[in-house]
Amino acid sequence: MTILRSEKKKKPLLSSLFSLFVTKTFIIIIIIIMLIRQAIKKTATTTGSNNGGIAAAALTAQTKYFSSSTSSGRAIFSASYMTSSDLFFTTTTTSKKNNGMNNNNNNNKRNTNSNTNTKNIFKQQTSKTNNNQTFSHVINERLYSVGLMVHRDSAENNSSLKWEFSKENETKVQTILKRYPPNYKRSAMIPLLDVAQQQNAGYLTVPVMNHIAELLEVAPIRVYEVATFYSMFNRSKVGSYHVMVCGTTPCMLRGSRDIEKALSEHLGVKKFETTRDGKFTLGEMECMGCCVNAPMIAVADYTGGVEKYTYNYYEDLTPESAVSIVQTLAQGKMPEKVGSQIRNKAEPITGTTTLNTEPTGPNCRDLAKLKKELEAAAAEAAKAAAAEAAAGAKK
């Protein structure tokens, strides 16, 4: 009995020691995890201040600068896409971006301050080290290349103004509307925006979009959504000639950046800027679909309104031929050749290699002969019907 009692006394002691060991171990693990997290956070903060701080600040200013759409149409913006790295920086500014959106006056003040801050940020970037200059250059290019843009009321572009299609273009508008059933008339939105842009010197103002919303019997925001989504619609004023350089990979590999540089130097403007005389705007477009004839540019000509509007491709370019095309347009003339500047069609640079001889067959039917046979049969049928009608009349 004594032995049994001694064993019963040992069990609580062992249990207590084990519990104490587990507790201490758990506490140590928690302390280690907290130290690791603190070290990681400190490292990330240091790295962000050296490399990502500028970009984060720039995007913070930009996200404040681009306020959300309002019912009055005074804050309409478009962000074509954001890369994964943009998303990383945006997560740090999401809470700030959404604060105070209910007051338009506060938005305008915040937009003005953010615009100033953004300019200051870009100025500060130039004083950084070479590595930071390269990084900030990439960020600047990304902010501009994705077409981020905000609307601000101006004397010629605000919701209080009225706009209508001209009498000449109203006929074209009605023709477009008749293509669609009345309950699907909103399907005419893109064609109508295209005609409106041609009439309105190459860009869409708020009054223009509001008028189209009235014609289609939709809320204005539905038109804003379309106009700010597609890059073919311009929300800022452009020159009489909108010169767009293809910037996709095939054209880039074939020298589109050299063409862009040559045009920029010749016109005296940077990408997305307009010349002082208002004639040319240098832009960029993604994949125009003529990769076999890369590099290329597209030129939208708004000098003649809707009736004389043209949208032409110029392909197989060199920096010299691209500048020559712009010089010809500046003189009010059309370039001698549209499309490829060195070949007649989309074919290998060395010429065609297939279908150079007459097909061996089987051949299609002789359509001219078939037409004659059908016409003769129709004439015989008409003659027989006339004879039958004459016989019936005699009876």
Whether 253 shows a pLDDT value over 90: the answer reads yes
Mean pLDDT of 260-273: 94
Domains of the chain (ranges plus CATH)?
30-150 (no CATH), 167-229 (1.10.10), 241-340 (3.40.30.10)
Alpha carbons 372 and 1: distance in angstroms, whole number: 127
User: pLDDT at position 316, please?
Assistant: 93
**Structure tokens that stand for 201 in this block:** 């010197």
The answer to whether the CB of 296 falls within 8 A of the CB of 246 is yes
User: Considering only 20-29, 56-65, 323-332, which range has the smallest mean pLDDT?
Assistant: 56-65
Average pLDDT over residues 385-395: 84
Q: Read off the pLDDT of residues 89-136 as tens digits, 9 standing for 90 and up.
A: 333 333 333 444 444 444 444 444 444 444 444 444 434 334 433 333
Closest CA to 235 of 73, 117, 70: 73
For 145-159, 182-196, 239-253, 310-324, which range has the lowest pLDDT when averaged over its residues?
145-159
Tell me how far CA of residue 175 lies from CA of 169, 171, 307, 369, in angstroms.
10, 6, 15, 38
Q: Quick one: which H or E segment has residue 317?
A: none
- Whether residue 204 is predicted with pLDDT greater than 50 in this model: the reply is yes
Task: Kindly report, residue by residue over 141-152, the tens digit of the pLDDT.
Answer: 433 433 446 788
Q: Considering only residues 95 and 370, tell me which one the structure prediction assigns the higher pLDDT.
A: 370
What are residue 243's DSSP bridge partners?
282, 299
Say if residues 306 and 175 touch (Cβ distance below 8 Å): no
Q: Which residues pair with 395 in a beta bridge?
A: none
The first and second tokens of residue 350, run together, are: 């060395």
What is the rounded CA–CA span in Å between residue 173 and residue 163? 14
Q: Examine the pLDDT at 173 and tell me if it is beyond 90.
A: yes
Structure tokens at 353: 């290699």
Q: Mean of the pLDDT values across residues 306-327?
A: 94
pLDDT, position 178: 94
Given a cut of 50, is residue 59 above it in pLDDT?
Answer: no
Dihedrals phi, psi of 15, to nearest 5 degrees: -65, -40
Lowest mean pLDDT among 105-109, 311-315, 327-331: 105-109
pLDDT band at 263 (very low <50, low <70, confident <90, very high): very high
Residue 313, SS3?
A: strand
CA angle (211 as vertex; 210, 214 as ends), nearest 5: 90
pTM of the complete model? 0.56
Structural element, H or E, at residue 246: strand 241-246
The reported pLDDT for the residue numbered 44 is 60
The span from the CA of 80 to the CA of 93, in Å, is 19
